[in-house]
Amino acid sequence: MTSRGRIARAFWVLTLVIVLAVLAFALRGQF
Amino acid sequence: MPAAILVLFYLALTCAPLALSALQGLPPRPLRDELASGVALAGLAILLVEFALSGRFRVISGRIGMDVTMRLHQLLARASSVLILLHPFLYSGPQSLRPGLTPPGSAPLNFDWPGLWPGIVAWLLLGAVMVMALGRDALYRHEVWRALHGIMALVMAGLGVLHATRAGRYSGDPVLWGFWWVLFAIAVLSLAWVYAVKPLMKARRPWRVSSVTRLADRTWELCLDPEDHKGLRYRPGHFAWISIGKPAVSLDENPFSIASAPADGGRLRFVIKELGDFTNRLGQVTPGTRAWVDAPFGSLTLQRHDKAGGVALIAGGVGIAPMLSHLRQLDADKDPRPRVLFYANRAEDQIACREELDQRTQTGPLRVVHLLSDPPKGWTGETGFLTPDVLTRHLDAAALKTWVFVLCGPPPMLHAVENALLALGVSPRNILLEQFSYD
């Protein structure tokens, strides 16, 4: 994987974790 | 600090507001309202941490690389913008705020004007900052854009925090309130560090231009001598922000790779190509002109590659500068490892420091492979671009497996050569590259 590919992967991993945290926050106590 | 710890620290900072909000124990509102708060909490946290990813902090850029730092700064800014721009549209609407329609025990949103206006202004500023950042090369001189970007981002972040702490359901809580303002204070200090503290530190360590020499077509060597101080501690492969003939506190500074080696003494040498703005006037700079240096930066250094079996330096055009630094230091250290310099240019008169390179091939374990994309008649060196075929003509399988590869040049060339090296089985860990332009 190229350096740009590795940076993009790092970005998507960070974004995914943050988005999951947002979803977990929003969904708490909804069900 | 290992890069993995930096990543975990980043996630802890950006997710902390969500955790601190959830821990307040307030009863949840409808999903859309909670989502609206969630994207704002995460978006504002990402935005505030962006100030630390500006590339001027060696604890970060020195660890994960300047390219990685700046690219992540850009990409995470986009993620933050998407979250924040979505924020006002996710609320289910004013009707959900009426006592009868709001779940029992749920605190209503605060729509008071003192809480609302900072959010509206910050939201609009965010759009302006993004448009300016995406169009920066076409619209502004880089120095003007950089200053505007920092100031507008700081105002936007401050208003965002003001909005969150005044109008937010969760951010009025003392712990989260304190968290936001501490992050904002760090953002202010980071800008103050770059634009006030560092220039004042620079002012105590002036430099003087000792010579400006033409090396090749539109390519100059600039030499700076320290004035009443010991000079700079740096490694081959580092780069410096320099300003010439300006006050110490000035936005007019440009990044250039250092071409001298620490072993050469206090004098700093730079190889600079005329690419517009300041660089086009470099030939007019006279010896004795005062200069300022903010350095060292970058991660194109060999310090973690002591055990590499050899060193392949791959330069395109003015990308020769950090390679000269490496070659000069390796020779000064009498490093016995074999090394090859691939030096790509368009035309023969663009080759810089040719005599020095020829001399080093005769006195040390260096081979130089010149490539020209527009060769003159009778040229006996390589022609065209640096393809896998060219690489394998000069490097055997053992070299591809055990050597370290250092790349510096125009981005298209860097990416093509990186792909070629990976296709030849070179480990990504053994490839170092750095570029000064992004996107």
Q: What is the ipTM of this complex?
A: 0.96
Q: What was the pLDDT predicted at B97? A: 52
Q: What is the CATH number of domain B311-434?
A: 3.40.50.80
Does A5 contact chain B (CB < 8 Å)? no
CA distances, B95 to each of B98, B101, B104, B169, B295 (Å) = 6, 7, 15, 17, 56
Considering only the beta carbons, identify the residue of B22, B28, B415 that sits closest to A4.
Answer: B415
Closest-CA distance of chain B to residue A7, Å: 6
Q: What angle do CA B426, B431, B433 make, to 5 degrees?
A: 145
Does B71 contact chain A (CB < 8 Å)? yes
* Average of per-residue pLDDT values in chain A: 91
Contacts of A29 in chain B (CB under 8 A): 27-28
Q: What was the pLDDT predicted at B95? A: 47
Q: What's the rounded Cα separation, in Å, for the pair B357 and B326?
A: 12
Considering only the beta carbons, identify the residue of B14, B21, B419 that sits closest to A18.
Answer: B14
Q: What was the pLDDT predicted at B105? A: 45
B404-408 vs B431-434, strand pairing mode = parallel
B239-244 vs B254-257, strand pairing mode = antiparallel
Does A6 contact chain B (CB < 8 Å)? yes
pLDDT at A24 over 50: yes
A21, B35: Cβ pair inside 8 Å?
Answer: no
Considering only the beta carbons, identify the residue of A2, A17, A25 that sits closest to B34.
Answer: A25
Contacts of B76 in chain A (CB under 8 A): 11, 14-15
Does B83 contact chain A (CB < 8 Å)? yes
Q: What is the value of pTM for the model shown?
A: 0.83
B38, A15: Cβ pair inside 8 Å?
Answer: no
Q: Which amino acid is at B332?
A: A
Does B134 contact chain A (CB < 8 Å)? no
The domain segmentation of chain A, as residue ranges, is: 1-31
CB B314 within 8 A of CB B386: yes
Does A27 contact chain B (CB < 8 Å)? yes
Q: What is the mean pLDDT of residues A7-31?
A: 93
Does B38 contact chain A (CB < 8 Å)? yes
The domain segmentation of chain B, as residue ranges, is: 3-95+110-201, 207-297, 311-434
Contacts of B37 in chain A (CB under 8 A): 25-26
CB B54 within 8 A of CB B188: no
B42, A2: Cβ pair inside 8 Å?
Answer: no
Please count the residues of chain A. 31
Q: What was the pLDDT predicted at B173? A: 94
Give the best residue of B9, B11, B438 to mutate against chain A (max A CB count within 10 A): B11
B15, A30: Cβ pair inside 8 Å?
Answer: no
Task: Say whether domain B207-297 belongs to CATH 2.40.30.10.
Answer: yes
Sequence-distant (6+) residues with CB within 8 A of B245 are B285, B289, B290, B291
Q: What was the pLDDT predicted at A28? A: 92
Could you say which residues of chain B have pLDDT below 70?
1, 55, 93-111, 137-140, 277, 436-439
Does A15 contact chain B (CB < 8 Å)? yes
Q: What was the pLDDT predicted at B112? A: 80
Q: What was the pLDDT predicted at B147? A: 82
Residues 255-274 of B with CB under 8 A from A: none
Chain B residue closest in CA terms to A18: B15
Contacts of A21 in chain B (CB under 8 A): 15, 18-19, 42
B239-244 vs B207-216, strand pairing mode = unpaired
Tokens of B317: 């055009």
Count A/B contacts: CB-CB distance under 8 Å: 84
Please enumerate, as own/partner, the contacts of B174-179 that have beta carbons within 8 Å and a separation of 24 or more.
B175/B20, B176/B17, B176/B20, B176/B21, B176/B24, B179/B16, B179/B17, B179/B20
DSSP state of A2: -
Q: What was the pLDDT predicted at B110? A: 57
Q: What's the rounded Cα separation, in Å, for the pair B177 and B21?
A: 11
Sequence-distant (6+) residues with CB within 8 A of B274 are B218, B219, B220, B280, B282
Same fold? B207-297, B311-434: no
Considering only the beta carbons, identify the residue of A11, A22, A29 that sits closest to B72.
Answer: A11
